[in-house]
Every structure is written in C-alpha cells, then in structure tokens.
Amino acid sequence: MTFPKDFLWGGATAANQFEGGYDQGGKGLSVPDLKTVGGVKLERRFTPTVEEGVYYPSHKAIDFYHHYKEDIKLFGEMNFNIFRMSISWSRIFPMGDELEPNEAGLAFYDDVIDELIKNGMTPLITLSHFELPMGIVENYNGFSDRRVIDLFVRYAETVMTRYKSKVKYWITFNEMNFGAMDHGELTVLGMNPNDETIYPNGAKTNEKVRFQALHNAMVASAKVVKLGHDINPDFMIGCMICHITSYPLTPKPEDVLKRKEFDLLFAKFVGDVQTRGVYPPYMTTYLEKKNIFPVFEPGDADILKAGTVDMYTFSYYMTICITTDENANETGGNLMGGKANPYLKASEWGWQVDPIGLEYTLLDLQDRYNMPLMVVENGLGFADELQADGTIVDDYRIDYMRDHIKAMDSAIEKGANLIGYTMWGPIDLVSAGTGEMKKRYGFIYVDMNNDGSGSLKRYKKKSFDWYKEVITSNGAVL
C-alpha cells in the first residue's frame, strides 16, 4: 500500500448537475438550465422561456440546494477529506456582467463551504463547470468576445477573495480541452452554435472563431491563476483536462501516427499551455497551416507565462482506439470518433472500462509534466435498481473502483506524484452528457427519475460502506 498519509479522498460534483434551485436566491439562467431530457436524447433551446417539466435536469436536479446539510453529513460519514464542487457563476453574477455580486448567491456558498469544513472536508472549487450564464451567451457569444475575459476575472476575484482562508484547491475550467473540439463551443466557451453571426450559413464549426475563443478562455484562466496567487500564495490551482487516453488500434504505423495526433490535439494541447505557459510547437504549426492561429493581443504571451498552474487535474473514465480504418467497430459510446478495443468491456453507455489505462495515463502525465496530479473524476455510470427493502447492491461499482484504485496505487509505486482522488458523483446526479438521472454514479442513491418524478429520498448503496473502509484504511482495504 503506497498512498501517502495525507492523500486526499473524496467525491466530485458540478453545481448544475445536482443543486437544483435554478431560480432561487436571485440566480440567473445558465446554459444547462436550458437543457432538456427526453429519454436519452438531449436537446438544447436558446430561448429563455421556461416550461416546467421539460427543463427538469438542472432545474430540480437532486435539490442539493435544500438538502446540502443532509448530503454533506453523509459525505462526512464516509470520511471524505476533500469535496469537489463548482460555483455557479450565474448565482454570483446573474447575467455574468453585473458590477456587484448577488449576496444571496454568495450566502448559499458560505453555508455549503462552512458545512464541508465542519464535516472534515477541504473544498476543491471549479469556477466554471459547463455552466456559463446565459447572459454571457446571448450578449457576448461567450469567450469569442474578449470582454468576457475580464468578466470571468471579476467573478473569480469575488469568490477567491471571499473564500481565501477557507478554500485552498481551485480549478479554473472543467475539461477545457473540449473547447478545441466542435461540441465544446457552448458547454465550455459559451458560444451559441446556432448563432449565424459567428457560424454563418448554419455551419456548426467555425474553427477560427472557436480557437480564438479557446485562446481567450486560456488567457482568462491564466489571469485567474496569477490573481489567485496574489490573493493567497498557498492556493493550489489546477487545470482540468478530460483525458481520454487513446491507443493505436493496430501496430500499423499509420494508426500509431494518427493516435499520436489525436492525443496531442485533444488530450495534451490545453494542458500543455496551462502548465508550460506557451503554445506547443505542434499546435502552432497545426493552427498556422490551417490559417486559424488566434490573434494574440499585446501582453497575452506574458499572461500565459505568468499564470501557469500548480497541479494537473483530470477526468478519467475510459480509453479508446484510434485508426485510419473508417470501418473499424465504434465503441458504441460515440466518443471523439474512438473505436472499440477488443480487449475491453464497455458500460451500458459504451464507455470502455480500462483500469490499466489509468496507470498508463498517470505515468504518462508524470513523465510529461512532473507536477502534482489529481484524478478529479472517475466512476461507473450504471442504471442502479432500488430494491423493495431499500437496498442497492452495486458490486459492479465496487469492482470498478477497486480496480481503478489499485491502478493508482501501482502508479504511485512507480513514481507518480498523485495527491488526491475525487470520484465522480458520490451522490447520484444528473448526467452532463445525456441529461438523464438514470445514469447513476453515486454511493448514495437518490429517488429521482428521468421524468422528474421521485421523492428525493437518499439511500446508502452497498458501495457506501466499502468506500468508507477504503478511505479509513487509506487505500489498504480494498
């Protein structure tokens, strides 16, 4: 057993996926408030007219807004010493661009943070987790407008100052690398993909605009890192990358090369900028060749350099295979064009389960960045069933987590500087990808269904006591 004695064990959430209370305490509308669920199909609307029921996911979610004391107590019971959450920008600045913050929104997070500390947890706060205020989308088209950089900085300064003595760990943007792909424009960058002024003729992908917006967001992130260090030099501020690890499907050199290119563009580019403070040469040439290299305003290069992160955090759920063979089998999870790996099994949602891939990823990241690493999302989405006697026997989840924790253990033994693990969704919450409630990750079951019906009652699953034991033994009892 190799976990260091101060290893951080806990769980991770995002405001819009579990808070509910979307219009309470003066909160403005944010992007996920306009998401709808219908079975497995997610649709987005851009008119902020609200029909109750249709917009179930982030409107009610699991109503953490009114259950936070009960929920935090349960996390404390499992001996979490860290809890990852996000602050909803539109609770603090309802339209995103007000001059003064909304006190009622801050008061809510004051209470949540105090409650976490009281129950033995250090908060890890994500400033932007797929939830830009709609005002920023509608009035600025997100980060495509440079003025949004300073709006984000104003919001970050407000909360970082308020919580400077209570919160040490921060993440600027969740899975920012999705901004480099053509479905990240709305979720990460806040640009309306239906807006003809930036996407003429209905074209969804205007790479030039998207990479400019991503550049602006990276500048905003770096400014906030620098500012955070001025507010409290002890802050540990991280990037957060969706690290979909990939393998070449075959040893064919064409597959190996294509896999390398995918890894650089999707999994490495944004993390490289945030950890090293410069665009990597492979990206500079790629963007210049396509004539889409972003405009650097005077000072941008210095800001990127001055705002490098203190830790590298990432989500890890699966691996995929890359090949030049277009006829190879899909994963079924439809993820980034990845192909199925004949050696791996996939979850019901097509995400290929690969614990050894986590060990590989940790060693790869340690080698590349040589800085503290944190796994801030990992877990198994499953359609758990509540039995008549109130139990949920989720042995599959225990197996999944045991294998991934063993992989972390082994990577630490081989030199990875892994400082913490916040598994995804310690309490069931709404799926970001599908808007469903049915895709559950938690140790705590919440009686809430896809159609918004349910008592919201909380039940401990079998994995609850298991994870508690893992934490109490610092990873020795698995």
Residues binding ligand BGP (CB under 6 A): 14, 17, 174-175, 242, 315, 377, 381, 424, 431-434, 439
Which residue lies nearer to ligand BGP by CB, 35 or 439? 439
Which residue lies nearer to ligand BGP by CB, 237 or 432? 432
Q: Tell me which of 19, 115, 359, 377 is the catalytic residue.
A: 377
The rounded distance, in Å, linking the Cα atoms of 73 and 95 is 33
Q: In sequence order, what DSSP letters do the residues of 101-115 get, joined into one string? A: --HHHHHHHHHHHHH
Greatest Cα pair distance, the chain, in angstroms, is: 65
Give the nearest distance from C-beta 349 to ligand BGP in angstroms. 7
Give the nearest distance from C-beta 173 to ligand BGP in angstroms. 10
The rounded distance, in Å, linking the Cα atoms of 215 and 81 is 35
Specify whether 330 is catalytic.
Answer: no
Which residue lies nearer to ligand BGP by CB, 42 or 54? 42
Specify whether 297 is catalytic.
Answer: no
Give the nearest distance from C-beta 86 to ligand BGP in angstroms. 9
Give the nearest distance from C-beta 439 to ligand BGP in angstroms. 5
Which residue lies nearer to ligand BGP by CB, 119 or 378? 378
The rounded distance, in Å, linking the Cα atoms of 298 and 46 is 34
Buried/exposed code over 385-417 (b: 16+ C-beta within 10 A; e: otherwise):
eeeeeeebebeebbebbeebbbbbbbbbeeebb
The rounded distance, in Å, linking the Cα atoms of 312 and 368 is 11
Give the nearest distance from C-beta 13 to ligand BGP in angstroms. 8
List CB contacts of 139: < 8 A, sequence separation 6 or more: 95, 96, 97
- What SS3 state is found at 382? strand
Give the nearest distance from C-beta 366 to ligand BGP in angstroms. 22
Answer whether 410's CB lies under 8 Å from 364's CB: no
- What SS3 state is found at 379? coil
Please, what is the end-to-end C-alpha distance for the chain in angstroms? 10
The pair of structure tokens assigned to 73 is: 């107590």
Give the nearest distance from C-beta 441 to ligand BGP in angstroms. 7
Which residue lies nearer to ligand BGP by CB, 17 or 422? 17
The rounded distance, in Å, linking the Cα atoms of 439 and 431 is 6
List CB contacts of 357: < 8 A, sequence separation 6 or more: 245, 316, 318, 319
Of 201, 123, 206, nearest to 159 by C-alpha is: 123
Which residue lies nearer to ligand BGP by CB, 138 or 377? 377
The pair of structure tokens assigned to 108 is: 């809510």
Which residue lies nearer to ligand BGP by CB, 242 or 418? 242
Of 158, 171, 148, nearest to 375 by C-alpha is: 171
DSSP 458: E
Q: Tell me which of 19, 115, 138, 175 is the catalytic residue.
A: 175
Active site amino acids = 175, 377
